[in-house]
Chains A and B, each alone.
Chain A
């Protein structure tokens, strides 16, 4: 167990290092002057020089690379262009707000979609199953910002349900915050429902057809006991995996949702950074999102191993 954890942590560090390298290459992949490329051909020469000096892109490439890797492991990501202060001072509050929104979305999504998946699996190929499967397919294929803008138009503007701007004024009660966050959270719920419900359904169907389920039935257990004690424990592993992946990937979709609802989260911070060409903020956000993904998939693997000891921990599959 300890060996497995150490091994996984080692792998995470290597992956992060590669990620940092990829990000570094993205910024430096094209030959020529970074400042000129980012600011455009019409920018003044001194502006370009100042930009390069600020970013450190006037230094030799190899030195820049080592500095960026050092930043990663010392957790010091340098200063933002916009604020002049440390990047992390900008990122942490925004990350907190995004996390709040995401948490609400997952609290709603997980029970609904798992229940729907089980429901569909038990009625495999019947009408109810088809409905869940196709609704899931449709909901997960539509980009979050599309859902968000439709929800905004229909609920917030037309029916006056929920708020147009999701930023919660300070001092709002927990319940009051819900009114602000519900619509953006719903946009995310609709997106993730499909993935999780379909994966749960597939897992349950596999487990229902397994030999051990037959053994349980022929012991004389009723179908409820068979489902609770034998099917679900084995069926949920793929669901847990897909949830953990969604936790990492939600930062792709949340940018659009935050833009539609003008929510001051990580996505909005990134869009501002794009506008201001604030590359340190962008780079750091990317690395932090990568870390979140890695930690959440690690936790998922541990949970799966806990639920199903056959998944051996010493190998690191």
Chain B
């Protein structure tokens, strides 16, 4: 034993006990996951969401017509060959709805994940360090929260220009304070607990206490926040896109489809608006059903 380098030795032991811990955590996660999977709202939400994910991934193969360049009869009502009809440009609405899944499913999750990462880091520091940092950051968070995300997004996209990167960046930035506030209050409650004091009495460093002791205990609210944020991201991207501040043309994004065609509703051509609108509704409801299932399981455990 004495032959072995002590550092190496300690590394081994640490990894062996860490492995046991990881195993344990995996089991607990498995149990939570099993409970989530059993909820009807999760099953319904996941089914719908998966359909749209398939559309986003394999849209080219599924779409009966070219979503961008196909020219057929203008404003033809739903028929066998065009189940969702055609729009005012003569394009197949079904093909465009399938193709429209791609941008929103690319932008929304990335924006949500970035926003959550930013919010977790900011919130952890605010909640654990408190003091002047928290006071200043809280004021900034508060001023972001005083505005609807869509409004700030609209202003930002106007000054920064339309592009997917801008939309992702804007949505992620606007979500950061929201997530930070949730994480902050969870961390604040957590730092009141005696195990944090106990870690200090053991001589643990601040980063260790924050990220090894506290972070696992606030992972529940973070996961919930992530699913909820994905739902809001879809909501926000769709709305921005309807207002002309979403993914740039010629993207067949659902929001811009509604924006392009809602004026023809008055003339009776409801389908070119209705189907993309339903696509948005079904996706946001699906994501929110998943979020709801995750939330009720996480909060009850």
Contact = CB atoms under 8 A, between A and B. Distances in A.
Do A's and B's CB atoms come within 8 Å in the complex? yes
Interface of A: 11, 14-16, 18-19, 22-23, 26-27, 29-30, 34, 37-38, 134, 137-138, 141-146, 149-150, 152-153, 157-158, 164, 248-253, 255-256, 259-260, 270-271, 274, 277, 279, 282-283, 285-286, 289-290, 293-294
Contacts of A294: 146
Interface of B: 41, 139-140, 142-144, 146-152, 154-156, 158-161, 231, 235, 238-239, 242-245, 255, 258-259, 262, 265-266, 268, 270, 273-274, 277-278, 280-281, 284-285, 287-289, 292
A158 B284 contact: no
- If over half of B's interface residues share one DSSP class (helix, strand or loop), that class is named, otherwise mixed; here it is helix
B239 A256 contact: yes
A249 B278 CA distance: 23
A259 B243 contact: yes
A141 B285 CA distance: 6
B139 A14 contact: yes
Contact of A149 (B41, B262, B285): B262
Contacts of A22: 140, 143-144
Nearest to A287: B147
A159 to B, nearest CB: 12
B149 A252 contact: yes
A164 to B, nearest CB: 5
A138 B146 CA distance: 25
Given A30-B160, A143-B284, 8 more contacts: A22-B144, A23-B155, A30-B159, A145-B258, A153-B273, A157-B268, A251-B151, A290-B143
Contacts of A260: 262
Contact of B235 (A34, A141, A164): A141
Question: Which are the 7 A-B pairs with shortest beta-carbon distances?
Answer: A252-B148, A252-B150, A141-B288, A18-B143, A153-B270, A293-B146, A19-B143
A4 to B, nearest CB: 17
Contacts of B139: 11, 14-15, 18
B155 A282 contact: yes
14 contacts: A11-B142, A15-B142, A18-B142, A19-B147, A26-B155, A30-B159, A144-B239, A146-B238, A146-B280, A152-B265, A252-B150, A274-B154, A274-B158, A282-B154
Given A248-B148, A274-B154, A153 B159 contact: no
Contacts of B265: 149, 152-153, 157, 164
| Residue of A30, A145, A150, A289 with most partner-chain B CB within 10 A | A145
B151 A26 contact: no
Nearest to A15: B143
Contacts of A23: 155
A137 B146 contact: no
A149 B258 contact: yes
A290 B149 CA distance: 11
Nearest to A22: B143
B270 A158 contact: yes
B147 A271 contact: no
B223 to A, nearest CB: 18
Contacts of B161: 37
Contacts of A153: 265, 270, 273-274
Contacts of B266: 157, 164
Nearest to B287: A141
Contacts of B280: 142-143, 146
A293 B154 CA distance: 18
